């Protein structure tokens, strides 16, 4: 992901409830929808006992618009009611990044 800095990261950390029926399908739908939103830059996700998803955006306004998107609001409500025991959202300004990638032989 190559981006002009600064940009913003939304860090969503969560713990699932025992009821995860429909969660994977909804997560895939939300990722596909997020990719269509103005200002979306990318996403990374991992899950074991705690899940973490980081989405990247070009502005705070783009993040606000995504949070208020109708289908995303429905998914948030379903998540609070069914899928999560706990979650936390952090919004951060990324001023610097770097990465390493091993050369393929």
> pLDDT by residue for the chain (105 residues), tens digit each?
556 779 999 999 999 999 889 999 999 999 999 999 999 999 999 988 899 999 999 999 999 999 999 999 999 999 999 999 999 999 999 999 999 999 998
Stated pTM of the model: 0.88
User: Would you tell me how many other CB atoms lie within 10 Å of the CB of residue 73?
Assistant: 11
Any residues with CB less than 8 A from the CB of 65 and at least 6 apart, and which? 37, 38, 39
Q: How far apart are CA 65 and CA 11, in angstroms?
A: 16
The residue ranges of every structural domain in the chain are 7-94
Beta strands in 17-101 (DSSP E): 40-47, 51-57, 84-94
Q: Count Cβ atoms below 10 Å from residue 64 Cβ, excluding itself.
A: 13
Report the topology of domain 7-94: Alpha-Beta Plaits (3.30.70)
């Amino acid at each position: 992901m190559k981006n002009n800095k600064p940009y913003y990261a939304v860090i969503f950390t969560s713990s699932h409830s025992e009821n995860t029926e429909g969660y994977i399908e909804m997560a895939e739908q939300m990722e596909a929808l997020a990719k269509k939103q103005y200002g979306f830059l990318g996403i990374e996700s991992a899950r074991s006992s705690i899940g973490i998803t980081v989405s990247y955006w070009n502005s705070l306004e783009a993040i606000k618009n995504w949070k208020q998107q109708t289908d995303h609001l429905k998914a948030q409500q379903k998540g609070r009611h069914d899928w999560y025991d706990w979650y936390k959202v952090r919004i951060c300004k990324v001023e610097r990044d770097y990465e390493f990638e091993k050369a393929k032989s």
